[in-house]
């Protein structure tokens, strides 16, 4: 039962997930900080992985999909010369028989094959739905798991250190990228096998590891660390409209609109639109052929930071 002193909270929280803890366990802990509130996370981290886990509290959970779209930066250590059923150090590890020891130049050349938009098959031990259940549930029973390749984007891979069998990397990638799949595919390309031995997510969009709270933080620290829900839309162009135009968008009506020179919006791109009120956000699509903004999602109850929004009056 919710206390009479209950106060509705809404926002984003950045938590530093420790190794060995599941993302669900982190969510459970945050729910204890904010009793009576819905809490969700924007992108699972494997138990082996550490680092940035972005969580949404209260009505901010409706914006999780926008955080999930954000690019991510990982630091990882790949162990070459071995393979495992989970593609990481938490699985059953086997030495790769007669594995060659690749030179640094060969490793660097191989990594270049994975830059840009690529087709990647997720690990069998993953939370992807497969034949009506999670793929890892089938894999744990020893059943066959054949997942289809998906398009992902890897923007950059930097080698920090390589002393066989350990390869230290920093990886900047788009949504849906599995670092375990990258290790597996790199090992196959080099002919020596590879797994993820350590993995840390250092950044999701603007949310950095340096700003993350430990799971041991107090309730007061968690409340102080709650960030505005509007930050979930920080990678979209931000617009502010007058009251009449904004009200029409909130009612599901398209409005005539031509962006000013200070606002960069691509044709068909979504943007976050704010009005003069302290609450209310609309995600709208700009259709330049018709010179109009078309509302796609309306968040009438979400607070916004109107002072941080660039003016773009039509």
Give the residue numbers marked as catalytic. 46
The pairing of strands 194-204 and 50-57 is parallel
Beta-carbon contacts of 188 under 8 Å, excluding residues fewer than 6 positions away, are none
Distances (CA, A) of 292 to 32, 256, 258, 269, 283: 44, 4, 7, 12, 13
């Amino acid at each position: 039962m919710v206390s009479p002193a209950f106060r509705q909270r809404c926002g984003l929280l950045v938590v530093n997930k420790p190794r060995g803890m599941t993302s669900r366990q982190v969510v459970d802990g945050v729910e204890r900080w904010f009793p009576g509130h819905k809490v969700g996370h924007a992108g699972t981290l494997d138990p082996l992985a550490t680092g940035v886990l972005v969580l949404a509290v209260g009505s901010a959970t409706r914006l999780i999909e926008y955080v999930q779209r954000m690019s991510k930066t990982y630091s990882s250590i790949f162990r070459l010369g071995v393979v495992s059923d989970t593609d990481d150090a938490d699985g059953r590890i086997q030495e790769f028989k007669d594995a060659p020891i690749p030179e640094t130049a060969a490793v660097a050349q191989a990594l270049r094959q994975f830059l840009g938009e690529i087709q990647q098959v997720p690990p069998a031990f993953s939370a992807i739905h497969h034949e009506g259940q999670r793929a890892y549930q089938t894999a744990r029973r020893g059943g066959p798991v054949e997942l289809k390749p998906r398009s992902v984007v890897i923007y950059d891979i930097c080698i920090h250190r390589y002393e066989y069998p350990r390869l230290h990397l920093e990886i900047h990638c788009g949504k849906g990228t599995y670092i375990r799949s990258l290790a597996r595919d790199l090992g196959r390309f080099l002919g020596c096998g590879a797994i993820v031995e350590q993995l840390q997510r250092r950044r999701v969009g603007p949310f950095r590891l340096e700003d993350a709270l430990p799971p041991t933080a107090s309730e007061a620290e968690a409340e102080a660390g709650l960030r505005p829900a509007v930050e979930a839309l920080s990678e979209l162009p931000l617009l502010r409209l007058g009251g009449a135009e904004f009200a029409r968008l909130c009612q599901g009506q398209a409005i005539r609109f031509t962006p000013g020179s200070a606002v960069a919006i691509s044709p068909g791109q979504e943007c976050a639109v704010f009005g003069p009120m302290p609450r209310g956000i609309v995600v709208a699509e700009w259709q330049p052929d018709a010179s109009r903004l078309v509302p796609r999602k309306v968040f009438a109850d979400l607070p916004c930071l109107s002072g941080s929004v660039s003016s773009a009056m039509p």
